[in-house]
Amino acid sequence: MPYPFVDGASYPVRKTETLSLYVDGEEAFAAIADAIEGAKSYLYITVAYASLNFRLRPPDEEQLRDLLVRAAKRGVRVAVLFWLPDGTVEDTVPLSAAPYLAANGVLARWDKAKCSGIFKPVPQLACHHQKTFVIDGALAFVGGINMVQYYWDTRAHERDDDRRVTYDVTDAARREQLRQAPTNLPLHDIFASFGGPAVADVEANFVERWNGASMPGSAPALLVSPPGQPPTGGVQIQIVRTIAPETYASLPHGETGIRSAMLGLIDRAQSSIYFENQYFFDQDVVDALRTAGERGVRIVGLLCRAPDEGQALGVIEAGFDKEQEACLEVAGLSPELRRRIQLYSPVTNTSSSKDIYVHCKTLVVDDRYILTGSANISFLSLDFYSEMCVLADDASTAVSLRRSLWREHLCVPTDDGLPQSFEDGADLWASAATRNFQLRSQGQPPLSRVIPIRSVESAATSRSAASA
């Protein structure tokens, strides 16, 4: 299998005419809503966290349920596969929604994830985490954004945006409470879309999971449509997955294609790595990044400051300094290696700034290779959850994506304002982040949205949070 593609994965390397990347919820869900409205034959959706009340195009009041029901009523076969968590989990669609969906012609199944290996006694850790859409076998979306209102955001990442919190709240006091809640953060993420034969691979994943779902209800089994004709040109992509062992009869040993893809890209990086991720919680990936830095690769990473309670940032044996440092303290590195491995966290560039929650799971290597989808840099995502990513060899899209993201985070209005080289751009990140941290410490608004992640909180504070 040619680099960077994964040998032994369920799906082969395919060609697509175009690979489109939608940054943040406003762009992504506008495109997804348009695709749902244009569906003519069938629509297959996998979700993790979701609400039928989700508004894809706020302030438009139309909700996800409206789009699905309207598609079903015009003759589209609409099938949605929901994750059924172990116990009660907020922001998931409950089984009690089944009668409403069935009455309105929407097929639905629920699927409980399985924990395997050392996590078998802890079923609440299991998660079906894929987010995919297949429209008429001709178009697919694969990404990381949940269909819950506070995941929706614009590229402006405004400090306070009522479109994130008021979708089904009419009481003024409750609305204000939600506005002021610490969870009301701007949120950053990505969805990819493509056509061509790889759409059939996303569909095959859906049908495999649908037919093997633990709670099929009365919804019928489905068949996979044949793949479309391969395009004569375009870019090479591969659909890669994580499937936990013992989840489906067709994959008794599971699948770890995303781990293979991620480590393969990092291990063979020649000059540059840019990544954005919610977590930094896998020892193999941390070690691979450090090794890449040691051989001269320039690395810039954007990480969530505080991804979850109980899974604090970087609570790993980091190898950076041989002890668990939840703020990824890199003081143990040589000055040159510290310059080559730069880690940042985003904030709003306002006088009273907020964290911007990084929910993105994207890796760009050598300005040519892209890995993006639902999988975090976490042993849970890479070994035990159900995940899906797109792996692509597409220099044009890789450069465009990376520069577009850098413009967003560094608040550079035009592409001409960014240095042409990755090295010079990385130096700009370093100087901007240092200046922003100084301004923020003085109570002044940052000039852009990045600060050094080491400055966010002390290691002691992070260790305390991790052990709480």
pLDDT by residue for the chain (468 residues), tens digit each? 899 999 999 999 999 998 999 999 999 999 999 999 999 999 999 999 999 999 999 988 899 999 999 999 999 999 999 999 987 788 899 999 999 999 999 999 999 987 766 666 566 678 999 999 999 999 999 999 999 998 999 999 998 888 887 655 667 777 777 777 777 889 999 999 999 999 999 999 999 999 999 898 889 999 888 776 677 678 999 999 999 988 888 788 899 999 999 999 999 999 999 999 998 878 889 889 989 999 999 999 999 877 764 333 333 333 333 223 433 444 456 777 888 999 899 999 988 888 999 999 999 999 999 999 999 998 889 998 999 999 999 999 999 999 999 999 999 999 999 999 999 999 999 999 999 999 988 989 999 999 988 544 333 233 233 333
For residue 218, what pLDDT is reported? 86
Tokens encoding 420: 């042409």
Residues comprising the chain, all counted: 468
Q: Residue 448 phi/psi, 5° resolution? A: -145, -165
Closest CA to 341 of 420, 398, 397, 280: 280
Query: For residue 240, with 0-12 CB atoms within 10 Å meaning exposed, 13-18 middle and 19 or more buried, which class applies?
Result: buried
Calculate the CA dihedral of residues 312, 85, 189, 338 and round it to 10 degrees: 20
Query: For residue 127, with 0-12 CB atoms within 10 Å meaning exposed, 13-18 middle and 19 or more buried, which class applies?
Result: buried
Q: Tell me the CATH class for 14-220.
A: alpha beta
The rounded distance, in Å, linking the Cα atoms of 464 and 306 is 13
Tokens encoding 421: 């080289």
Percentage helix, strand, coil for the chain under 3-state DSSP, each rounded to 5: 35, 20, 45
For residue 122, what pLDDT is reported? 65
For residue 311, what pLDDT is reported? 38
Structure letter (DSSP) for residue 21: E
For residue 448, what pLDDT is reported? 96
**How far, CA to CA in Å, does 378 sit from each of 15, 49, 134, 359, 384?**
29, 18, 27, 13, 10
Closest CA to 298 of 315, 325, 275: 275
Q: Which residues contact residue 142 at a Cβ distance below 8 angstroms, ignoring those fewer than 6 apart?
A: 131, 132, 191, 192, 193, 202, 239, 372, 373, 374, 388, 389, 390
For residue 353, what pLDDT is reported? 83
Cα diameter, the chain: 64
**255-467 has the same fold as 14-220:** yes
Q: Which residues contact residue 439 at a Cβ distance below 8 angstroms, ignoring those fewer than 6 apart?
A: 445, 446, 447
The CATH homologous superfamily of the domain defined by 255-467: Endonuclease Chain A (3.30.870.10)
Q: Which residues contact residue 388 at a Cβ distance below 8 angstroms, ignoring those fewer than 6 apart?
A: 130, 131, 132, 142, 202, 205, 239, 240, 241, 258, 373, 374, 375
Reported pTM: 0.91
Closest CA to 11 of 140, 191, 146, 189: 140
Q: Count CB-CB contacts under 10 A for residue 171.
A: 9
Structure letter (DSSP) for residue 72: H
**Helix, strand or coil, per DSSP, at residue 133:** strand
Element (H, E) at 451: strand 450-452
Domain segments of the chain as ranges: 14-220, 255-467
**Helix, strand or coil, per DSSP, at residue 365:** strand
Closest CA to 134 of 66, 58, 195, 218: 195
For residue 123, what pLDDT is reported? 67
> What beta strand segments (E) does 102-253 contain?
107-111, 132-135, 139-143, 187-188, 190-194, 235-243
